[in-house]
A and B are shown apart, each in its own frame.
Chain A
Amino acid sequence: MSGLAPVPDAEHESVPIGSNDDVVRARQLVRALAQQCKLSLVDQTKLVTAASELARNTLVYGGGGVMRVGLVRRDGRVGVTAVFEDSGPGIPDVDQALTDGWTSGGGLGLGLSGARRLVDDFTLQTEVGGGTQVAVTKWAR
């Protein structure tokens, strides 16, 4: 896929996402980094919840993939970035996918749109038949 999202630069860890246990593991890793980055409790919970949604999307709709997560620095601020990548079917209509309440599966239809509201930066790249990449960042205040 062209145009890479802001991949966490220095030390980042990747977690394969292939089962529900991996979603839990991804969540724990994001929580640990959010604590290390001194995010407030509310921001920690928001980021962890967003990661949980996106990891589950990667698993359920993308057929599994990988999460890369790490600390990022920009303009003297520190944040946590998580990138979720799969090589699944991709999203044909991004606007529709980001509409509250729309789901192609059996969920509430709030995962992707909700995750966008829970974080500071959100980028989504997708290609039908070529997979999906979602990158989210939460900056420490």
Chain B
Amino acid sequence: MTEQDIPARLVELLTAEQESLGAAWVEAVSRTLRGRISLAELDRELRELYAALVEGLRGGGLDWRGDAFGEVRALLAELSRTRARQGFTPTETATSVLAGKDVLAPSEDTSAGDVRAYLHLSKLIDALGLFTLEVYAKTREEIISAQAEQLMELSTPVVKLWEGVVAVPLVGTLDSARTQVVMEKLLQALVDTGSDQAIIDITGVPAVDTEVAQHLLKTVVAARLMGAECIISGIRPQIAQTIVALGIQFGDIVTKSSLADALKHALRRGDAAVVRPGGRA
């Protein structure tokens, strides 16, 4: 058998026993996934893949990058993405593809020509397995960057504490990107709620270095330009000592140790209407 005949022979082998080989593949994969995916779904996935693989071999030989394998690559990418999202491990994902090798593994009475054909198929499936893993890794990276973005949004809520008083509780590391989000949200909240007092609470910020301080100062200045006053609260003893040692000047910006103190100050300063239950404004 020459090189050119190998794809044709493989198509022959794969189509002759399509039903039983497909079933064996599904069986092999379902063992590794231990019932975390329904058998019907797996069966559909792998049989589609099997059919596409046969078509690919028929049309494009062993070149998996070619046009004939477009369908195979699309199916594999789909499979890989679904697995990555569902939390399957890389091994489990790759095995779905690589298990295909066992199905056609030569036995003792396989002819030498068929063994060679098998070796080529084996190489092809390895390449497809790697392709699957690449898509898997890429999907995971997409998930991670999407989560980082969500986290950034999540971690900067602006809450209305009182009529005329909004607060931003900051948690975690404050870098330029975060500060930008905080500043935008805070300034927008000042407009939306018609507030003139803003409290920035840094209880959840582990370390205040010059960059964080600079970002805070800029936010305060921006709020002032809009006619609002800012109070920075949540300055813990160790943070206060560090700020002094660093030599950061907060100037005439009001700082408080707790959010409660800051709210009290804001209410007093902002002549906010404090309404007692049952009383009149």
Cα of A111 to Cα of B247 in the assembled complex, Å: 9
B175 near A107: Cβ-Cβ < 8 Å: no
Determine, out of B44-52, B69-77, B189-197, B203-211, the stretch whose residues face the partner at the interface: B203-211
A100 near B247: Cβ-Cβ < 8 Å: yes
Q: A24-B173, A108-B213, A108-B214 are in contact. Are A48 and B206 (CB under 8 A)?
A: yes
B236 nearest CB across to chain A (Å): 8
For residue A110, which residues in chain B have a CB less than 8 angstroms away from its CB? 210, 246-248
Cα of A8 to Cα of B247 in the assembled complex, Å: 28
| Residue from A31, A46, A108 having most chain B Cβ neighbours under 10 A | A108
A108 near B210: Cβ-Cβ < 8 Å: yes
For residue A133, which residues in chain B have a CB less than 8 angstroms away from its CB? none
| Cβ-defined partner of A46 (8 Å) among B206, B214, B245 | B245
For residue B176, which residues in chain A have a CB less than 8 angstroms away from its CB? 20
Cα of A42 to Cα of B173 in the assembled complex, Å: 18
A46 near B247: Cβ-Cβ < 8 Å: no
B64 nearest CB across to chain A (Å): 36
For residue A100, which residues in chain B have a CB less than 8 angstroms away from its CB? 247
A42 near B247: Cβ-Cβ < 8 Å: no
| Cβ-defined partner of A117 (8 Å) among B207, B239, B245 | B245
What bracket does the count of chain A residues touching chain B fall in?
A: 20 to 34
B150 at the interface (CB under 8 A from A): no
A125 at the interface (CB under 8 A from B): no
For residue B239, which residues in chain A have a CB less than 8 angstroms away from its CB? 45
For residue A27, which residues in chain B have a CB less than 8 angstroms away from its CB? 207
B238 near A56: Cβ-Cβ < 8 Å: no
A12 nearest CB across to chain B (Å): 22
A118 near B173: Cβ-Cβ < 8 Å: no
Smallest CB gap from B209: residue in A: A52
| Cβ-defined partner of B210 (8 Å) among A42, A45, A107 | A107
Within residues 240 to 270 of chain B, which ones have a CB less than 8 A from any CB in chain A?
241-242, 245-248
Q: A45-B207, A49-B209 are in contact. Are A113 and B247 (CB under 8 A)?
A: yes
B81 nearest CB across to chain A (Å): 26
For residue B237, which residues in chain A have a CB less than 8 angstroms away from its CB? 41-42
Q: A41-B238, A45-B239 are in contact. Are A118 and B210 (CB under 8 A)?
A: no
Cα of A101 to Cα of B62 in the assembled complex, Å: 67
What are the interface flags for A93-122 relative to B under an 8 Å C-beta threshold, 1 for contact and 0 otherwise? Answer: 000000010000001101101110110000
| Cβ-defined partner of B208 (8 Å) among A31, A49, A107 | A49
A81 at the interface (CB under 8 A from B): no
For residue A45, which residues in chain B have a CB less than 8 angstroms away from its CB? 207, 238-239, 241-242
A53 at the interface (CB under 8 A from B): yes
Cα of A44 to Cα of B211 in the assembled complex, Å: 18
A52 near B207: Cβ-Cβ < 8 Å: yes
B227 nearest CB across to chain A (Å): 26
What are the interface flags for A13-55 relative to B under an 8 Å C-beta threshold, 1 for contact and 0 otherwise? Answer: 0000000100010010001000000000110111011001100
For residue A48, which residues in chain B have a CB less than 8 angstroms away from its CB? 206-207
Smallest CB gap from B214: residue in A: A108
A20 near B175: Cβ-Cβ < 8 Å: yes
Cα of A100 to Cα of B247 in the assembled complex, Å: 8
B209 near A46: Cβ-Cβ < 8 Å: no
B210 near A111: Cβ-Cβ < 8 Å: yes
Within residues 195 to 238 of chain B, which ones have a CB less than 8 A from any CB in chain A?
206-211, 213-214, 237-238
| Residue from B213, B239, B246, B248 having most chain A Cβ neighbours under 10 A | B246
Cα of A128 to Cα of B151 in the assembled complex, Å: 41
Smallest CB gap from B208: residue in A: A49
Cα of A45 to Cα of B242 in the assembled complex, Å: 7
B interface with A by C-beta (< 8 Å): 173, 175-176, 206-211, 213-214, 237-239, 241-242, 245-248
Question: With A42-B237, A107-B211 given, can you name 16 additional A-B contacts, CB distance below 8 Å?
Answer: A42-B241, A44-B238, A45-B207, A45-B238, A46-B242, A46-B245, A49-B242, A53-B210, A56-B211, A100-B247, A110-B210, A110-B248, A114-B246, A115-B246, A117-B246, A118-B245
